[in-house]
C-alpha cells in the first residue's frame, strides 16, 4: 500500500505537512502554535501513529523532518478534555495502549532518515523527536518528564526504556524519582542531541542536513541504514512496552483504593473537577 501527500496533508488536526524536493516537514502543532498534548481521539497521541504510517508509505518522501510549532517541543497537556476518572476504564486504557504502540511502531518503521528538531523545552513526549536519527535542539532546550512519577503516574509508556538507552539506567531512574531536567548542553555531552543552534536557525540546518544526505547517498543506502540503525531500538521498545504499559494502566485503575496516597492528591490537583475512578466494564 502506497500513499500520496495529497491523501494525508489535510487529514490531521494536530499535524501539518510540507514537502519540497523529497524532504517532508512534519510539524506537530495545536491551533497553529505550540503543541499541547492530548490523549483524546482527535489529539496527537491518537493521530501520530496513523500519520507516521502515511508518511512511511509515501515513496516520494526521501527524508523526514520532525518539528513542532512555536518555541518549544511540548510543555503542556490538555487536562480539560481528559476523561473523568469514571472514564479511565480497562477499555480506555487498551485504546491508549494501541495508540502508543502505533506511535512507536510507525515512527520507527518510517523507512527513510528522520531529522528531529527540538525547538525548545521538551517535557511531554520528548521521545518523538529523540527517536530521530539526527536530533537538533534549540540552545534553550531542556528535557524532563512531567507526565509520569511527578504527577503520580507510572513511567511505563516506553519513555522509561528510551531514557535508559539515552542516559543510562541510573540516571534514567533518578530523572523519574527526582524529577530532574537535562539541559541541552548536557544532552550534547550525553550524545543524544547532535547539534544545538539558535531556534531561528534550526529548520534551515535541518534542511541543510537533509539536502546533503540526498546529494551524497543513494536512496537504498539511506533506507537500509535507517533499518540497521533502528533495529536495536525497536527490539528494546517492543519487548518491554506491553508489560510496562499494563503496569501503568493497573496503577491508574487502582486509584479508588489509594485515595489518601500523595500521588492521588497530585492527580486531583491537576484534575480539579474529576471524581473517583471506577473500574469500567468492556
Q: What angle do CA 47, 74, 51 make, to 5 degrees?
A: 20
Q: Which residues contact 110 (CB under 8 A, 6 or more apart)?
A: 52, 55, 56, 61, 64, 226
Q: Which of 47, 100, 127, 248 is catalytic?
A: 127
Residue 100, domain member (yes or no)? yes
Residue 279 lies in a domain: no
211 is catalytic: no
DSSP structure class, residue 206: H
Does 22 reside within a domain?
yes
Angle 178-179-181 from CA coordinates, rounded to 5°: 115
Backbone angles phi, psi at 16, to 5 degrees: -115, 160
Mapping DSSP to helix (H, G, I), strand (E, B) and coil, where does residue 19 land? strand
Q: Say if 32 falls within a structural domain.
A: yes
Cα 105–chain centre separation: 12
Per-residue pLDDT of the chain (282 residues; tens, 9 = 90+): 899 999 999 999 999 999 999 999 999 999 999 999 998 888 999 999 999 999 999 999 999 999 999 999 999 988 776 666 566 677 777 888 888 899 999 999 999 999 999 999 999 999 999 999 999 999 999 999 998 888 878 888 888 999 999 999 999 999 999 999 999 999 999 999 999 999 999 999 999 999 999 999 999 999 999 999 999 999 999 888 888 888 888 877 776 555 555 555 555 565 554 443 333 333
Q: What CATH number is attached to the domain comprising 250?
A: 3.90.226.10
Flag whether the pTM goes above 0.75: yes
Cα–Cα distance between 40 and 95 in angstroms, integer? 10
In a domain, 278, yes or no: no
Is there a domain that residue 281 lies in? no
Give the model confidence (pLDDT) of 163-191 as tens digits.
Answer: 999 999 999 999 999 999 999 999 999 99
Structural domain including 169 reads 5-201+211-270
Q: Is residue 282 a part of any domain in this protein? A: no
Q: Under DSSP, is residue 10 helix (H, G, I), strand (E, B) or coil? A: coil
- Counted domains in the chain: 1
- The β-bridge partners of 24 are 19, 64
| Residues 6 or more apart in contact with residue 78 via CB below 8 angstroms | 36, 37, 38, 40, 43
Rg (CA), the chain: 19
Q: Considering the domain boundaries, does residue 230 fall inside one?
A: yes
Amino acid at each position: 500500500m502506497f500513499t500520496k501527500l495529497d491523501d494525508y496533508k489535510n487529514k490531521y488536526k494536530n499535524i501539518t505537512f510540507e514537502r519540497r524536493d523529497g524532504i517532508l516537514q512534519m510539524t506537530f502543532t495545536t491551533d497553529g502554535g505550540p503543541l499541547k498534548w492530548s490523549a483524546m481521539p482527535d489529539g496527537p497521541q491518537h493521530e501520530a501513529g496513523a500519520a507516521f504510517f502515511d508518511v512511511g508509505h509515501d515513496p516520494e518522501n526521501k527524508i523526514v523532518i520532525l518539528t513542532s510549532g512555536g518555541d518549544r517541543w511540548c510543555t503542556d497537556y490538555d487536562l480539560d478534555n481528559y476523561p473523568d476518572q469514571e472514564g479511565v476504564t480497562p477499555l480506555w486504557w487498551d485504546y491508549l495502549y494501541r495508540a502508543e504502540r502505533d506511535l512507536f511502531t510507525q515512527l520507527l518503521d518510517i523507512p527513510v532518515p528522520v531529522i528531529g528538531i527540538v525547538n525548545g523545552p521538551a517535557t511531554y513526549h520528548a521521545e518523538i523527536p529523540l527517536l530521530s536519527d539526527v536530533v537538533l535542539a534549540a540552545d534553550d532546550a531542556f528535557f524532563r518528564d512531567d507526565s509520569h512519577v511527578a504527577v503520580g503516574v507510572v513511567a511505563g509508556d516506553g519513555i522509561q526504556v528510551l531514557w535508559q538507552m539515552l542516559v543510562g539506567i541510573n540516571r534514567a531512574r533518578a530523572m523519574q524519582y527526582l524529577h530532574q531536567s537535562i539541559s541541552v548542553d548536557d544532552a550534547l555531552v550525553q550524545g543524544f542531541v547532535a547539534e544545538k543552534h539558535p531556534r531561528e536557525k534550526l529548520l534551515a540546518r535541518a534542511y541543510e542536513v537533509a539536502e546533503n544526505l540526498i546529494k551524497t547517498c543513494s536512496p537504498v543506502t539511506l533506507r537500509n541504514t535507517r533499518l540497521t540503525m533502528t533495529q536495536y531500538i525497536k527490539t528494546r521498545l517492543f519487548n518491554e512496552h506491553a508489560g510496562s504499559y499494563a503496569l501503568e494502566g493497573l496503577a491508574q485503575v487502582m486509584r479508588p483504593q489509594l485515595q489518601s496516597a500523595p500521588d492521588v492528591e497530585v492527580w486531583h490537583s491537576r484534575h480539579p473537577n474529576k471524581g473517583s475512578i471506577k473500574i469500567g466494564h468492556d
